[in-house]
Chains A and B, each alone.
Chain A
């Protein structure tokens, strides 16, 4: 098994370089422009607001109530026909009710014809 080359401790840590780099990074924070700082500020507030949103403030009993409501609504929806089924049902029932009406109308028209024919015969007989 080959050993990895060891870097001497002093050389690997170089405290002066690390110190200078840390100072440079600290200085670079002051160079962050106002727009970015403002954006960071907004993001922080948004993140904290999210925590205190209504959903997360709900306690166990409120979650239980919400779950029960969801279940009840689901069951109710399961028993109720969906809107498509409902509209189809309405159309079907309308078709069912309109058919006899239409048939009655036709029968009445035929009756009217017969009545007119009867009236004509009667008139002819009266004249004759």
Chain B
């Protein structure tokens, strides 16, 4: 004989199972959505980190940390993922700059203490800047490499502002939020970046 209590218990179990199934389905959907999102931004993130660090391995490490950082927010609405992702990425790049600065200072101090500071060879420092200029001038167009080189030469904040605003298409407000600074600062960084790049790329124009 089926009692009311039995019915209640079995229906509660059924609904719990149903809820669990729904949760599992949602989890798989979010997992797939996150996979799709990350695959759509990973190369762009790598390029940004590579331009900032000029080091492939460091750039890959930054992207990995960013991915791991974002997956903690998988439950957040999908439209928040992009600004969150770039916000984490910029923070990781800033951390890299800070770490690099400290490391360089330590190395310089150690070298100074040892009295082994080697003079800088001017030929080493004068390389890549003009490596492909003649060919580019002949072609009369702004090559990818020239633009990337110009971007690499920008200060970190200008690089970030330019790539987020100009390349990723974030608004001033969004860029300010991602870079954790005021909208006025973003406008200044962006303007200076454009101005500086124009100056550098002027030589490549026919």
* Closest partner residue, chain A, to B45 (CB atom): A40
Structural contact, B147 and A47, CB atoms closer than 8 A: no
B-to-A contact residues, CB < 8 Å: 27, 31, 34-35, 38-39, 42-44, 46-47, 56, 60, 63-64, 67-68, 70-71, 74, 142-144, 146-148, 151, 162-163, 166-167, 187-188, 190-191, 194-195, 197-198, 201
Which of chain B's residues have a CB closer than 8 A to the CB of A122?
none
Structural contact, A21 and B44, CB atoms closer than 8 A: no
Structural contact, A40 and B71, CB atoms closer than 8 A: no
CA–CA, A50 and B188, complex, Å? 39
Could you list 15 A-B pairs, sorted by A, with CB under 8 Å? A7-B191, A11-B194, A17-B197, A20-B142, A22-B167, A25-B44, A25-B151, A28-B144, A32-B43, A40-B46, A43-B64, A44-B39, A48-B38, A48-B71, A51-B34
Structural contact, B67 and A4, CB atoms closer than 8 A: no
CA–CA, A110 and B34, complex, Å? 88
Does A77 touch B at the CB level, under 8 Å?
no
Which of chain B's residues have a CB closer than 8 A to the CB of A126?
none
Structural contact, A12 and B195, CB atoms closer than 8 A: yes
Which of chain B's residues have a CB closer than 8 A to the CB of A20?
142, 147
CA–CA, A31 and B47, complex, Å? 10
Which interface class (under 10, 10 to 19, 20 to 34, 35 or more) fits A?
Answer: 20 to 34
CA–CA, A7 and B188, complex, Å? 9
CA–CA, A43 and B44, complex, Å? 15
Q: For residues 68 through 114 of chain A, which have their beta carbon under 8 Å from a beta carbon of chain B?
A: none
* Closest partner residue, chain A, to B194 (CB atom): A14
* Closest partner residue, chain A, to B162 (CB atom): A21
- Min Cβ gap B117→A in Å is 35
CA–CA, A68 and B89, complex, Å? 38
Structural contact, A24 and B39, CB atoms closer than 8 A: no
CA–CA, A39 and B42, complex, Å? 11
* Closest partner residue, chain A, to B59 (CB atom): A36
- Min Cβ gap A102→B in Å is 64
Structural contact, B47 and A28, CB atoms closer than 8 A: yes
Which of chain B's residues have a CB closer than 8 A to the CB of A43?
42, 60, 63-64, 67
- Min Cβ gap B64→A in Å is 4
Known: A21-B166, A25-B163, A39-B60. A31 touches B144 (CB 8 A): yes
